[in-house]
């Protein structure tokens, strides 16, 4: 007596490229893995059409993650390079900013004036010294708080100042001369509620 058996379905072949794409795409923490995820995702998705859809989801996910990787990492690298470049170009004005704070804070107006252009007179410096005196003694000066290089004629340095009775941000603008950086403008501001994440 012959027994009729149902034929077993033939398993579909795997889609290795789709798998490679999604794995590469998930490695977002590694720079430029999108170079693998994107092409394998495209080829894997095309191949899935001939495999009954096998691997189509993985290929699409890998493709999307790969594109994100290729956009995000270059942006991060470019941002880091620009921050480093800005810091290097702003560096000559960092030490003078610290000196300016100490001179004005201690009432050494003549020394502070030597760091300034004619745009800042001794009367302005004297008023600033009196204002700083109301805030108490200087506990800490952080000239690396924030900075931006706008050009040789405008180097912006922001210094964080902590006094006994106050917390201020000193925003300074410097221009480069043969004698060194000279202060063209400055202003005291209140610190933001959220601390910045970048430094010069």
Enumerate the domain spans of the chain.
16-85, 90-189
Statement: 90-189 belongs to CATH 3.40.50.300: no
Residues 6+ away with beta carbon under 8 Å from 56: 18, 45, 48, 49
What per-residue confidence (pLDDT) applies to 194?
A: 57
Q: Tens digits of per-residue pLDDT, 145-157?
A: 888 888 888 999 9
Taking each helix axis from N to C end, the angle separating 56-90 and 16-26, rounded to the nearest 10 degrees, works out to 30
Mean pLDDT is lowest, of 5-14, 31-40, 98-107, 188-197, for 5-14
Helical ranges in 49-200 per DSSP H: 56-90, 94-105, 109-114, 122-134
- Nearest-CA neighbor of 44 among 63, 71, 70, 25? 63
- Tell me the whole-structure pTM to 2 decimals: 0.63
Q: Phi and psi (nearest 5°) for 188? A: -95, 135
pLDDT at 78 over 70: yes
User: Which long-range CB contacts under 8 A does 147-152 form with residues at least 24 apart?
Assistant: 147/86, 147/87, 147/90, 147/93, 147/94, 147/199, 147/200, 148/86, 148/90, 148/200, 149/85, 149/86, 149/89, 149/90, 152/176
- Nearest-CA neighbor of 147 among 166, 174, 180, 128? 174
Q: Tens digits of per-residue pLDDT, 111-136?
A: 999 999 999 999 999 999 999 999 99
């Amino acid at each position: 007596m012959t027994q009729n058996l149902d034929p077993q379905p033939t398993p579909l072949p795997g889609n290795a490229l789709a798998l490679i794409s999604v794995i590469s795409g998930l490695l977002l923490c590694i720079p430029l893995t999108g170079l693998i995820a994107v092409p394998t995702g495209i080829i894997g998705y095309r191949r899935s059409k001939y495999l009954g859809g096998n691997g189509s989801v993985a290929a699409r996910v890998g493709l999307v993650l790969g594109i994100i990787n290729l956009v995000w990492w270059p942006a991060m690298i470019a941002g880091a390079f620009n921050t480093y470049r800005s810091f290097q170009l702003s560096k000559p004005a960092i030490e003078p900013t610290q000196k300016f704070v100490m001179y004005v804070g201690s009432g050494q107006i003549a020394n502070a004036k030597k760091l300034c252009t004619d745009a800042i007179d001794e009367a302005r410096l004297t008023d600033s010294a009196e204002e700083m005196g109301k805030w108490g003694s200087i506990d800490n000066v952080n000239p690396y708080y924030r900075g931006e290089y706008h050009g040789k004629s405008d180097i912006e340095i922001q210094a964080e100042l902590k006094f006994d009775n106050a917390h201020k941000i000193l925003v300074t603008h410097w221009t480069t001369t043969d004698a060194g950086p000279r202060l063209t403008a400055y202003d005291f501001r209140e610190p933001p509620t959220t601390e910045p994440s970048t430094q010069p």
